[in-house]
Structure 1
């Protein structure tokens, strides 16, 4: 595989009408979860991606497996848990701004992942590990699993990217969240925080200062997401701002950060210069915000190249 990731997938019910969730009558079903978003994004670009998790022995679990199979994601290490359910969520429809999301994930099958579920041979086949901070917050056993995977991949000489994907409501305290996220960030090669996440984690508001905080502690590359202002990247011998892609209408911002990660990481794995990899991340993020589902807007290789080429022609 090119990339392997792990975490919790949920079935998402998206409101078909605008309004608060308690008044919505109809929803349509989709797939949600930061790590499955990235696995799907990589697969659509033609990379071989794998996703590791547990789902319940229920209709939601069957739906998740079927959707990932249809996207070409490797799910050999997705276990079916006969005792615990698959989580789900409700998501509102908005005319503008971020949607309201309610989660029903406590005690889910994925939260019962533990070190005993780790398959050394499977992870060894991957060139790269992509992680997010969500598994670190879901349960103690899943956090232990996550840290074990990261330690193993480092010892194997694999590259590791980490998107903090902060979810304060999942953590016992803000202090614990900052401590654990930074511990994992410092064991990664590429760290991908949003600017507000970076400020919370480091106390620094400037993207360059956020990057320096991690670079001085051994991280090789930091890419700070700046929303509609693009992104800032810095490594030992290069740094710069990369502009965003303008869009006519933002439909839903959820999944844009995961799409950004797909663009950056796929570009780096293919040997692109850092600036071009970050530009690819901005492009996929821009495509993502124009669609309702978390990963609906993620492009194929051809769609991505067309989107970037149109932008470059417009600047010429």
Structure 2
């Protein structure tokens, strides 16, 4: 079966590796990172689109060209005159800890749901649609409702909907707003891929099991609660099971670990793996990612790891 995968959100300019020679520029963002792994780990015949809104500046054109080189389209995503991509820089302190500085308040991606017709066209015919709490956070209230409605309509047309709540406090005006929007994400999704630390911070859960039970009550039939390098709690078919990583890995850089887990898990499920097998596969891929610097492993090195 041929699949069409759509991921919705914001792909930003990333500045990293500051040295005397300057910065290294790349492109990254949570839903883009996940799509990168979905693209790399899916069959070549799979169609992939990154649905967002783009500016008309040189950096936006570079973004679109970068996506195209890696066989990722942009569907009917609008090009917004006078807008630019969001930007963030990664810096290290004396102890080697990373910190992030963002410039994204006027980014084109905040307008990704401003044209409901184009958005509907972008989602039409998708087998799998992926979005996150960050996707919801960057939108104004009305645009967020438009997006969730379009995703719900796509689910009614038999698309699978995957959602990572991915709570980032600085993107929300207050926790109550985040809780409301993320619960709407649960209701819209058929697959939910939360991280326990995020859920604990926002909802006060004491254990991954408590996170699982709370989200089950919201309706999704498939849930994977990630806990960093610990076992993931996988719920499918009315049963929950712990799936531990196959080996302990000393990380070099944890950037993109959760995003790569999500991409590998969804690629495994699309390939026909059981939820438990897909979670084990996702652990293996994430373990390789955290042994390298940066969020994105090269496509060629990932192709040989396809399920």
Task: Settle same-fold status: TM greater than 0.5.
Answer: yes
Q: Secondary structure at the match of 2:292?
A: coil
Q: Is 2:125 aligned against 1:125?
A: yes
TM norm structure 2: 0.89
Q: Secondary structure at the match of 1:78?
A: coil
Contact kept, 8 Å, 1:15 with 1:27, in 2: the verdict is yes
Contact kept, 8 Å, 1:2 with 1:49, in 2: the verdict is yes
CA distance in 1, matches of 2:96, 2:269: 31
Deviation at 1:97, TM superposition (A): 6.3
Q: Is 2:39 aligned against 1:43?
A: yes
Contact kept, 8 Å, 2:13 with 2:86, in 1: the verdict is yes
Unaligned residue ranges in structure 1 (runs of 5+): 18-23, 306-316
Alignment of 1:275-314 (within 5 A): 275-296=276-297, 300-303=302-305
Report what 1:230 is aligned to.
Answer: 231
Report what 1:12 is aligned to.
Answer: 14
Deviation at 1:69, TM superposition (A): 0.9
Report what 1:3 is aligned to.
Answer: 5
CA distance in 2, matches of 1:96, 1:77: 44
Q: Secondary structure at the match of 2:69?
A: helix
Contact kept, 8 Å, 1:186 with 1:214, in 2: the verdict is no
Structure 1 residues 95 and 301, CA, compared in 2 at 3 Å: closer, same or farther?
Answer: farther
CA offset digits 1:214-235 (Å, max 9, x no partner): 2133210111111111311123
Runs (4 or more) in structure 1 with deviation over 3 Å come to: 93-98, 245-249
CA-atom RMSD in angstroms: 2.2
Report what 2:139 is aligned to.
Answer: 139
Alignment length (residue pairs) = 299
Contact kept, 8 Å, 1:89 with 1:102, in 2: the verdict is yes
Q: Secondary structure at the match of 2:305?
A: helix
CA offset digits 1:94-132 (Å, max 9, x no partner): 787651111111111111223425343441221111111
Deviation at 1:300, TM superposition (A): 2.1
Contact kept, 8 Å, 1:3 with 1:126, in 2: the verdict is yes
TM norm structure 1: 0.87
Deviation at 1:15, TM superposition (A): 2.3
CA distance in 2, matches of 1:94, 1:287: 25
Structure 1 residues 26 and 132, CA, compared in 2 at 3 Å: closer, same or farther?
Answer: same
Alignment of 1:75-154 (within 5 A): 75-93=74-92, 98-117=97-116, 118-140=118-140, 141-154=142-155
Contact kept, 8 Å, 1:12 with 1:29, in 2: the verdict is yes
